[in-house]
């Protein structure tokens, strides 16, 4: 376990088991030097506790990078709850989790993630103030999709020297809280759309609504397109899928898109421009962090719009330094996190 912490340069791990509710939860705090750790609560099935620990640590590190690249006064954290296989009481389980968050005295602020929504955040908020994305707030996913949309335009400008999306074919993987509004924005922006989702009903509905071509989930990687936009779970850019890609840009909302750091180099060698995930998908964190301290909507919108500028700088540095964009972003994030002179 200590080796896992060392490998991710994480500060600490917190565990909670509550027999009454069946709660099995982990909170990973990666870094708090810039401010309290902020990150969502993931509620999914895990094959083992080790898988849950690794997921929490990896995601917490990504949140630190996301916060520092957006110049937010936040650290990175993440929580995961191992979803029970049998019957459970959601109210009791998330009440227990709220107590868990409160025990950390503000070092960690939770929010929504895969498997959680404003409903769960409302339950948590009855036990702690260290929570965002309740039903009294906007859905941060909308801000994530806005940042991704602007990031795609920045990537298209860098790769094709085109200032709009007219005629650009975008393949979107995942039509959930971020993928759906992104498809809507891309449609209105003039893009041609190819889409997929594991939910066939949702897939067919969105295809009809936005005149998009629907394909089965396992076919999306080989679709001929200009931009591939992963908006589901991570790890989908790997040695296997890279061989299938027929795109020139990868830019989407999924966390931890690269299965390994080497996959960023593989994309670069193939001439595929990659928008680093923790930069392009930072809109939700920007909203959650700034709204939590009562910043006005105008400031939040301005900060979200800066995502495109940050990406443009990364793309330019990638070209001038002949270096993968993923490595450029990592170096900037690490320097900001660990070099106090920055």
Catalytic residue among 24, 78, 153, 159: 78
Strand partners of residue 172: 195, 229
Is 176 known to sit in a ligand binding site?
A: yes
Flag whether 147 is marked binding: no
Strand ranges for the chain from DSSP E: 12-18, 23-31, 37-44, 75-82, 108-112, 169-173, 192-196, 213-214, 227-230, 249-250, 273-274
Q: Is 293 annotated as a binding residue?
A: no
| 51 contact partners, CB below 8 Å, separation of at least 6 | none
Residue 340 buriedness (CB in 10 A; 0-12 / 13-18 / 19+) = exposed
Q: How many residues does the chain have?
A: 342
Task: Tell me if 211 sits within 8 A of 193, measured CB to CB.
Answer: yes
Q: What is the DSSP string of 74-100?
A: -EEEEEEEE--SS---HHHHHHHHHHH
Residue 159 annotated in active site: no
Cα(275)–Cα(247) distance, rounded to whole angstroms? 13
106 is in an annotated binding site: no
Contact 271, 160 (CB under 8 A): no
Q: Is 174 annotated as a binding residue?
A: yes
**Residues comprising the binding site for NAD(+)?**
174-179
Binding-site residues sit at 174-179
User: Which residues are tagged catalytic?
Assistant: 78
């Amino acid at each position: 376990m200590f080796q896992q912490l060392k490998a991710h340069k994480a500060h600490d791990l917190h565990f909670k088991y509550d027999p009454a509710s069946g709660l099995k939860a982990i909170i990973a705090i990666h870094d708090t030097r810039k401010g309290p750790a902020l990150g969502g609560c993931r509620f999914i099935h895990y094959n083992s506790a080790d898988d849950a620990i690794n997921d929490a640590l990896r995601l917490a590190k990504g949140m630190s990078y996301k916060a520092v690249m957006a110049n937010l006064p936040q650290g990175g954290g993440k929580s995961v709850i191992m979803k029970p296989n049998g019957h459970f009481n959601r109210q009791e389980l998330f009440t227990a989790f709220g107590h868990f968050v409160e025990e950390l005295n503000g070092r960690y602020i939770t929010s929504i993630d895969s498997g959680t929504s404003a409903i769960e955040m409302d339950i948590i908020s009855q036990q702690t103030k260290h929570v965002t994305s309740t039903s009294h707030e906007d859905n941060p996913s909308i801000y994530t999709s806005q940042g991704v949309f602007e990031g795609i335009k920045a990537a298209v400008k860098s790769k094709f020297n085109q200032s709009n999306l007219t005629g650009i074919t975008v393949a979107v993987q995942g039509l959930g809280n971020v993928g759906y509004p992104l498809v809507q924005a891309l449609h209105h922006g003039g893009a041609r759309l190819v889409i997929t989702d594991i939910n066939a009903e949702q897939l067919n509905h969105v295809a009809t609504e936005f005149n998009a071509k629907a394909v089965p989930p396992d076919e999306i990687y080989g679709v001929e397109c200009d931009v591939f936009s992963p908006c589901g779970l991570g790890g989908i850019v790997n040695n296997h899928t890279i061989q299938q890609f027929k795109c020139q840009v990868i830019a989407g909302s999924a966390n931890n898109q690269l299965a390994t750091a080497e996959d960023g180099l593989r994309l670069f060698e193939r001439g595929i421009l990659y928008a680093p995930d923790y930069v392009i998908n930072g809109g939700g964190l920007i909203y959650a962090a700034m709204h939590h301290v009562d910043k006005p909507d105008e400031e939040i919108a301005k900060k979200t719009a800066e995502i495109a500028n940050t990406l443009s700088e990364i793309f330019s540095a990638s070209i001038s330094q002949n270096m993968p964009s993923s490595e450029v972003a990592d170096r900037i994030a690490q320097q900001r996190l660990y070099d106090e002179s920055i």
